[in-house]
Structure 1
Amino acid sequence: MKKTIALIALSATTLTSVLGVSLLKNTSNTSAIEAKTAIECDTTSNVCVAIEDINLSTEDFILKTSTINVSKPSKQNILYMMLNSIDYYNYASGTIAYANPKDLSSSIVVDFQSDITNSNAYSHTIQKNVSITDINKAVLQSDTTTLTATNEKNTDYLADREVCYNGGSATVANNIHKTYSSSTNSAITRAEVPEIANKDRFRINEDGIPCYRYRANPTNIHDASMCLFPQEMAFGFLLDLDMWEIEGSTTYEGRECVVLSGNTNEEYGSKIGVDKFTFYVDKLTGTLLKYVGYDSKGEISDYMVSSGISFDNDFNIESSIEILTAKSSSYTAEK
């Protein structure tokens, strides 16, 4: 039997299965989150032994101040920057669109602003129907506007919510049902997210069960974690260094990225319907700016694209928070 063992006590959290492992994630009406990291182990044995059968060199672990050397990138460097991307920026804003894991014809679009330093964040998430033509255009031409409200085809909003964190307090507005919820001390602060040594991020226990150790997400933009804090993607796709290659570098959305491509292992790939994949990883932050997954027929089966990504403090998050606060005041409080 497997379960998630919290290293610090849990309070009002939900364990969400992502990529076959359990993660700690805020719910829309969560109160204070005390759990900061978790590790999944087989509970028949509490002993986890150091991983030995994955070809990672402990001598090549990155330093916090490192960035990816595009001219001569290291696989380990890329992997650990993705696992620790939150250590490389204080602000983030932009838009991402990714596939609904249950239905490729449904896209989830997230506009976001995050100020990690002050634990302030705003996001607007809309789920809507899309056509395969829209998806191909967005993926191939980096055109996320194809998947936003500017596209007349995409008017069937399946979900529409806004979330803001303001000095720790959270407000969640459901724009479909005109309801809202609020809580205090809900934001995850940078001070509450301890660093974890790279060598301790994953283990194989004595029964051969892999154990993954996750850091909490201080961006407080959980719907955009695939881009801003791609721990799950790094664990799921990159741990076996022999399964992927560094193809080179490219400029994507004005940012220099390292391009990776590879194959998923059979067990993991079958779970998510992805046989081959391509990543665009930002060389300065380790964030994942583009991901395309292909099935065994070579057709797109999963994706995440981004636009307008910035890691500068060039947005007015206070205005976004004020607007949402005013809007929610006219909504009905959720019980």
Structure 2
Amino acid sequence: MDERLKELRNHMTTTELKDIRFDDEKKKLVMKRIINQKKSSKNWWPKGLSIIFSLAIITIIFFSGKHLLFNSSNLAQGSKEIPEKIVGQEGITQSDNANKIINSNQDDSRNLSKKEILYRMLNTNDYFKTAQGAYVYQNPFTEQEIYYKVRMEKGDLAGYEKEVNKQMNITRITIVNNNKLVTLHEEQKKYEMSGIGISLNEGSISLEEVFGKDLHGSSIIKYRERPPIASDSLFPFEIAANYLQDESQWEIEQQEEKYLGEKVIVIKGDLGALNSEKHQSVSFKLWVHKSSGILMKMETYSPEGNVVNSLVTQKFTLDKSIPSSEFQFNIPKDFKKIEHH
């Protein structure tokens, strides 16, 4: 009997019932009719045919429901196959981004929110493995040329920075390797050596952690550890924290502009009273490397619109292999060690 019913169901769903569209309204009408028939005193419908008809209806409902369920499952599964890229700060946690490395050459064509831009500038450590280049930093009192190389792989830090101040005739070289830091003062023919306690494995820092309150309710800024190499550009934590904390004071002028062949986001805004006094400026403009948060260019302006402070990157390369020989402590023999007591 079961086999015969199965054959009948298959035959009906592939022939007479094949083109029937059994929507919710029709289901309600059929169920209402069946109920009315049960209440009727005259049961003129043959018992055997009632069973067959009911089975046919159940079969259609079953296959319709299964088809809808299958499509819904595919939609849900399909949404999981598309990983969500970094979203606003609400979806970012420290554990989610710990030791995260993002290819700097990725096609990050989507627009970033203000929180995402700020987050990347506070956590540039997580977005590249190596960097090398040069930039010029200038303020009303001095001009510095910075040449740098940094490698951060597998939790190990190695770095080189050469700072040239032509006005003061000073050249200083800083080398970081094997948890040690050496600074060479070329004009004085002296050098310093010390340990460096920076951990690259501490993970990213959230906006809530950066902008907190002390026990008295006063605003404080918690800093993330970062290498002391080209920090104004590669690790612009202070600039980001001080300039961009108040979202109402700045805006995104351009989501994607080209600078030295790299995609950058252009930001402009007003400086608060404290920053205005400190930098002798009232407004600023930043060119931020889109995929890493690195500061490529910066300008602050006087009330008259003149540039007061600036940082201009001249050479820039990310994630290109740098040999270990570039970070060796080659201290000249005639250099004397500076002892700190």
- What is aligned with 1:171? 182
Match of 2:236 in 1: 230
For residue 333 of structure 2, the aligned residue among 319, 329, 334 is: 329
Q: Mark the CA change 1:110 to 1:170 in structure 2 (over 3 Å): closer, same or farther.
A: same
Q: Deviations over 1:76-100 (max 9, x none)?
A: 1101111111111121111121124
> Does 1:296 pair with 2:332?
no
- Structure 2 counterpart SS, 1:72: coil
Structure number having the greater strand percentage: 1
Rounded to whole Å, the distance in 2 between the matches of 1:253 and 1:74 is 23
Determine whether 1:265 maps to 2:272.
yes
Aligned to 2:196, which of 186, 197, 213?
A: 186
Q: Which residue of 2 aligns with 1:113?
A: 149
Residue number among 21, 42, 59 corresponding to 2:90 in the alignment: 59
Cross-structure match for 2:224: 215
Distance 2:111 2:196 in 1: 41
List gaps (5 residues or longer) in structure 1.
1-56, 130-155
Q: Displacement of 1:163 after TM fit?
A: 1.3
What is the match of residue 160 of structure 1? 171
1:79 corresponds to: 118
Indicate yes or no: 2:250 matched with 1:244.
Answer: yes
Superposition map of 1:274-289 within 5 A: 274-289=281-296
Match of residue 123 from structure 1: 161
Classify 1:165/1:298 alpha carbon distance in 2 versus 1 (closer, same or farther; 3 Å).
same
1:255 alignment partner in structure 2: 262
| Cα deviation 1:82-120 (Å, max 9, x = unaligned) | 1111111121111121124xxx24111111111122311
Query: Residue type of the partner of 2:159?
Result: A
Q: Is the 8 A contact 1:180 1:328 kept in 2?
A: no
Query: Is this contact kept in 1: 2:89–2:119, CA < 8 A?
Result: no
Larger radius of gyration: 2
CA distance in structure 2 between the aligned counterparts of 1:70 and 1:234, rounded to whole angstroms: 22
* Aligned residue number for residue 9 of structure 1: none
| Aligned mates of 2:107, 2:236 — CA distance in 1 | 16
Distance, in Å, in 2 between the alignment partners of 1:315 and 1:178 is: 27
Amino acid corresponding to residue 266 of structure 2 in structure 1: V
Letter in 1 for 2:164: I
- Residue 303 of structure 1: CA displacement? 0.8
More helix by share: 2
Does the CA-based 8 Å contact 1:179-1:328 persist in structure 2? no
TM-score between the two structures when normalised by the length of structure 1? 0.66
How well do the aligned residues superpose, as a CA RMSD in angstroms? 2.4
For 1:304, what is the secondary structure of its paired residue?
Answer: strand
- Partners of 2:211 and 2:284 in 1: CA distance: 22
Percentage of pairs with the same residue? 24
TM-fit CA distance, 1:239: 0.9
Whether contact under 8 Å (1:179, 1:331) holds in the other structure is yes
Paired AA for residue 84 in structure 1: N
Change (3 A) 1:60 1:166: closer
Instruction: Give the structure-2-normalised TM-score.
Output: 0.65
Deviation at 1:61, TM superposition (A): 4.6
* Residue in 1 that maps onto 2:210: 201
The whole-number CA distance in structure 1 between the counterparts of 2:89 and 2:151 is 32
Between the two proteins, the alignment pairs up a number of residues equal to 241
Query: What is the aligned partner in structure 1 of residue 76 from structure 2?
Result: none
Check if 1:308 corresponds to 2:319.
no
Question: Which has the larger displacement, 91-100 or 228-237?
Answer: 91-100
- Structure 1 stretches of 4+ moved >3 Å: 60-71, 204-208, 314-317
**C-alpha distance in 2, partners of 1:171/1:204?**
36
User: C-alpha distance in 2, partners of 1:205/1:164?
Assistant: 35
Amino acid at match of 1:181: E
